[in-house]
Amino acid sequence: MFRGITLIPADTKIDFVGQRAITWLVSAFLTVAPLVLVATVGLNMGIDFQGGTLIEVKTKEGPADLAEIRGKISGLGLGEVQIQEFGSDGVLIRIASLPTEEEQQASIAKVKGALGDTVEYRRTEIVGPTISGELIAGGTVAVVVAMIGIMVYVWFRFEWQFAVAAIASLVHDITATIGLYALLQLEFNVSSIAAILTIIGYSLNDKVVIFDRIRENLRKYRRMPLVELLDLSINEMLSRAVLTHVTTFLAMLPFLFFGGEAIYGFAVAMCFGIVIGAYSSIFVASPMQLILGVRREAFSVSAESAKGRAGAAARA
């Protein structure tokens, strides 16, 4: 008979919560250090958020000579211009945002006139200051609305302690991911917001699975110390969680290595998010129940019945 793949034994007894003094220090570092990085180093804002003109070219003969391209463009009077390699054979030319679209179109014409037909023009994008500001606002609103919706959902399904723990651990995941963008200077653009929202959803699913087992064990073991109960719940779900994370991580690797520069930042953030989401589910969200004081009485049969009746009355 075929047996499923098992990466972790089903009967592990790892003392996760017992290591909370160390892991909380690590978690604090993963939360504070990214904020320091963003404040000091800053994010490499993409054209989506920064505004301006983006021209991607490919040299027709041999590898690109950045110094030569920079020399041809530097005397055009375009203001701030950034030139960098893109992939194995491409070059990205970024021109800072100009007041009007006519000036931006003129800057593109100047670049094309300077480079001539020695390069192949792959794409040209123009994003004005108004559009980039709207994208920043829209991305921020999307993340905030997602977090509020998550808090309401977890609070309704479990208790407020689980909702607060979920939000705190998700903030930990988001700040750590943004810190990765600042550390590696990956381009932060609209796809980065998509990566963060995907990480939030994936990480939340992992946390809800563990929360559900904690709730079951709170009903089942009425006298077990809470530290032991949390460790038991995590260990019982560890095999499933590891298999899910490893499978998802392996699915992201082709995007990371073969997806090209266009989605490289997204793939790096997703691979990192899978790991950091698993970490926060075990070492942040679950042990926080000790601080928040989750009550066994809230998950008794009578309490669950009263909660169900209240929910039915509210829907009616």
Running DSSP on this structure, what letter comes out for residue 283?
I
**Residue ending a domain, choose from 127, 158, 190:** 127
CATH code, 62: 3.30.70.3400
| Rounded Cα distance, 311 and 144, in Å | 25
In terms of Cβ atoms closer than 10 Å to its own Cβ (0-12, 13-18, 19+), residue 189 is buried
**Residue ending a domain, choose from 92, 127, 162:** 127
- Do 146 and 104 fall into the same domain? no
How high is the pLDDT of residue 6? 59
Cα–Cα nearest to 49, from 188, 180, 159: 188
In terms of Cβ atoms closer than 10 Å to its own Cβ (0-12, 13-18, 19+), residue 49 is buried
How high is the pLDDT of residue 315? 47
Cα–Cα nearest to 17, from 300, 271, 214: 214
- Do 38 and 84 fall into the same domain? no
Residue 94 in 3-state DSSP? Answer: strand
Determine, yes or no, domain membership for 11.
Answer: no
Determine, yes or no, domain membership for 62.
Answer: yes
pLDDT tens, residue order, the chain (316 aa): 335 555 666 677 888 888 888 988 999 999 999 999 999 988 887 776 777 778 888 877 767 777 777 877 777 777 777 777 776 677 877 877 666 677 777 888 888 887 777 787 888 877 765 555 676 777 778 888 888 887 888 888 777 888 888 888 889 999 999 999 999 988 888 788 888 888 888 888 888 888 888 888 888 888 888 888 888 888 888 888 888 888 888 888 888 888 777 688 889 999 999 999 889 888 888 888 888 877 766 565 544 444 454 444 444 4
| Rounded Cα distance, 28 and 287, in Å | 14
| Rounded Cα distance, 121 and 85, in Å | 14
- Do 286 and 169 fall into the same domain? yes
Tokens of 134: 């709207």
CATH code, 279: 1.20.1640.10
Determine, yes or no, domain membership for 7.
Answer: no
Tokens of 162: 């689980």
Determine, yes or no, domain membership for 145.
Answer: yes
- Do 215 and 241 fall into the same domain? yes
Beta bridge partners of 91: 57, 85
Q: Which domain holds residue 112?
A: 52-127
- Do 177 and 253 fall into the same domain? yes
| Rounded Cα distance, 123 and 198, in Å | 27
Number of compact structural domains in the chain:
2
Determine, yes or no, domain membership for 119.
Answer: yes
Beta bridge partners of 92: 56, 84
How high is the pLDDT of residue 276? 92
How high is the pLDDT of residue 131? 56
- Do 217 and 281 fall into the same domain? yes
Determine, yes or no, domain membership for 252.
Answer: yes
**Residue ending a domain, choose from 72, 104, 127:** 127
Contact 189, 313 (CB under 8 A): no
Number of Cα atoms under 13 Å in the Cβ half of residue 8: 18
- Do 92 and 214 fall into the same domain? no
Residue 316 in 3-state DSSP? Answer: coil
Beta bridge partners of 90: 58, 86
Determine, yes or no, domain membership for 3.
Answer: no
- Do 94 and 234 fall into the same domain? no
| Rounded Cα distance, 100 and 152, in Å | 44
| Rounded Cα distance, 42 and 39, in Å | 6
For residue 300, is it left (φ>0), alpha (ψ between -120 and 50) or beta? beta
Handedness of CA 216, 217, 223, 225 (dihedral sign): negative
- Do 22 and 148 fall into the same domain? yes
Determine, yes or no, domain membership for 4.
Answer: no
Element (H or E) spanning 112, and its range? helix 101-115
- Do 103 and 203 fall into the same domain? no
- Do 150 and 176 fall into the same domain? yes
- Do 77 and 25 fall into the same domain? no
The dihedrals phi and psi of 54, each to the nearest 5 degrees, come to: -120, 125
Query: Which string of DSSP letters, residue by residue, matches 121-188?
Result: EEEEEEE-HHHHHHHHHHHHHHHHHHHHHHHHHHHHHS-HHHHHHHHHHHHHHHHHHHHHHHHHT-EE
